[in-house]
Structure 1
Amino acid sequence: MPATRDEVTMATGTVKWFNATKGFGFIMPEDGGKDVFVHITAVQAAGLRGLNENQRVSYDVVTERGKAAASNLKPL
């Protein structure tokens, strides 16, 4: 079942870490603020196998289950 998307804003940031085995990681937004959760399904939907530490990406910030998460990832 797709997540409810209450609010969508485009952002850019740097991958803090991503663990493909665990299936998630975090992105540090360029504008500061809290790190953004990224799930393996968002990575796979972008046609990627994983994310590398310090990799720059653009992404949409969506609300999933009441928390901010990255979606629509694009490597920069």
Structure 2
Amino acid sequence: MARSRETFSKKEKEKQRAKKKQEKKEKREARNSDTDKSTDFEDMIAYVDEFGNITSTPPDPSKKKKEIDPDTIDIGIPKAVEAEDSDAGRKGKVTFFNDSKGYGFIKDEQTQESIFVHMSGCIDEIRENDKVTFLTEKTPKGISAIEVKLVQ
């Protein structure tokens, strides 16, 4: 007597395929039955009021529209204004300095931000917890302290 060529896994895979096919058919029928909803063009129109809000009511034509001069509209990002003059020195405290590697960080007294400092930007030799005055410069990696001097 010959053995059946269908194994258990083949039967399971066939059941899964039939189930997916049935689900797909049900979804298609559900989509087709939803088409009786109102797809009228008037239902799809949305209006924007003078404040930029989307509404379903058309604007009132009797209202007077405000004229705007297009030359007064600024497009783009305004240039950043330097917060402090580069001539004015900033004060801070050295929170970390590694002598062997030659870099550290200064905590600014006003803004409390941590600013990178390299030994090449130091006029005086500095250590941790020293009070210093410094200038800042913008580098590709961020703001760095330059002309760092000890405060006596």
Q: TM-score range by the shorter chain?
A: 0.7 to 0.9
Matches within 5 A, 1:17-56: 17-43=96-122, 46=123, 48=124, 50-56=125-131
Supply the distance in 2 between the matched residues of 1:42 and 1:17 (Cα, whole angstroms): 15
Mapped pair 1:70 → 2:149: no
Structure with the bigger RCO (C-alpha within 8 Å, sep 6+) is: 1
Alpha-carbon distance, 1:66 to partner: 4.5
Structure 2 spans left out of the alignment, 5+ residues: 1-81
Q: Which amino acid aligns with 1:57?
A: V
Question: Between the two proteins, what is the percent identity of the paired residues?
Answer: 29
Supply the distance in 1 between the matched residues of 2:150 and 2:104 (Cα, whole angstroms): 15
Q: Which amino acid aligns with 1:34?
A: E
Supply the distance in 1 between the matched residues of 2:126 and 2:149 (Cα, whole angstroms): 11
Question: Which whole-Å deviations, capped at 9, do the CAs of 1:17-72 have from their partners, x for residues lacking one?
Answer: 100111100001011332000001112xx1x3x42111000000111115110001
Structure 1 spans left out of the alignment, 5+ residues: 1-6
Alignment size in residue pairs: 66
**Secondary structure of the corresponding residue to residue 16 of structure 1:** strand
CA RMSD of aligned residues (A): 1.6
Of Structure 1 and Structure 2, the greater helix share is in 2
TM-score normalised to structure 2 length: 0.40
